[in-house]
Amino acid sequence: MARSAVVVALSLALMIGAAPGVLADDDDPDVPATPATVDQDDDDAPGARAVAPDDDADDDEGVETENLFGFTEGTDTAEAGERELSNDTVGAFGRRAKKNTSGGRYVSIQNETEFEYGLTDNLTISGSATFAAFDIHRIRGFEDVSTAGFGGLGAELKWRLLDRRTAPFGFAVSAEPEWSRYDEASGERIDGFAVSLKAMADVEIVPDRLFAAANLLYEPEWAKEGDEFERESGLELSAALAGRVADDVFIGGEARFLSAFEGAFFETHQGHALYLGPTLYAGLGAHAYLSGAWSFQVAGGGHQGIGGGINTLDFDRQQAHLTLGIEF
């Protein structure tokens, strides 16, 4: 009987030593457990294969508003180290024809190619070159011009002071000096210099669905044409809405109020105009976009007693804006 008890005791001891994982309590840290077979579907199990992160996780920063609103600019800036190459075309069409003439034609095209680089997440610098083209015939106040060529150079510094993702609204300022070889309105050859100073604000009204923006732009210009030296300035106030209608497609509307002055600091008011029109933004894959706008002058006036409710002496009847950009 004693011998049988010893045999049973030894057998139990061997079983316990050979299979501690079977008898071990998982809640007892002092008793090690034998590694079990890993369920490949259990991501929390030791030794399980790591699941690749979702590609969209790194890009989940919401909608970028910089080019969302047409002529009006959003506050977003490039991320640190991010680069972008864009082609921006602005077309101006329709001015008042000369008296007692018919068939007046006015077309002005400014095509700017720009390289942008993010110095920090809130500070962007860029450089640009412009190609200009004009087709102007029998327009009041202008000589007939049909020409095209290299238009000038520019640079821009944009600084975002408030990020709408962490603040109630976004706010940014920019400065853009430009040297030009053509007068943007008349198409005549000049040696011109201008500085565009802009303040921008935007807000996310409905998360990821509806956005609004407003800009205030002041632009003094100095130009030498032959022996004459001219100074003038412009002031622009704009507001825009853009709403998502598809995965990466936004449609909106924009209002812009433009004023023109003689002198670099608003010495004499020349005229003003109000533009309204639609906007469109479409993402082209992960790193490209297309942005466009078309504005119609709906009201205007000036010191020259312009009739008809619009001012096509100092401003264009219609303006179009198209931008194609690639980020890399």
Mean pLDDT of 6-31: 39
User: How many whole angstroms separate alpha carbon 260 and alpha carbon 8?
Assistant: 107
User: How many whole angstroms separate alpha carbon 184 and alpha carbon 107?
Assistant: 11
Res 240: pLDDT: 98
pLDDT in tens, 69-117: 999 999 999 999 999 999 999 999 999 888 767 778 999 999 999 999 9
Res 224: pLDDT: 87
User: How many whole angstroms separate alpha carbon 319 and alpha carbon 274?
Assistant: 12
Mean pLDDT of 132-142: 94
Mean pLDDT of 151-163: 98
pLDDT in tens, 234-285: 999 999 999 999 999 999 999 999 999 999 888 899 999 999 999 999 999 8
Q: What is the mean pLDDT of the chain?
A: 84
Question: What is the distance between the terminal CA atoms of the chain, rounded to a whole angstrom?
Answer: 85
Res 23: pLDDT: 34
CA distances in angstroms from 144 to 101, 186, 206, 311, listed in the order given: 13, 9, 49, 20
Res 24: pLDDT: 38
List the domains of the chain with CATH numbers. 1-51 (no CATH), 83-327 (2.40.128.130)
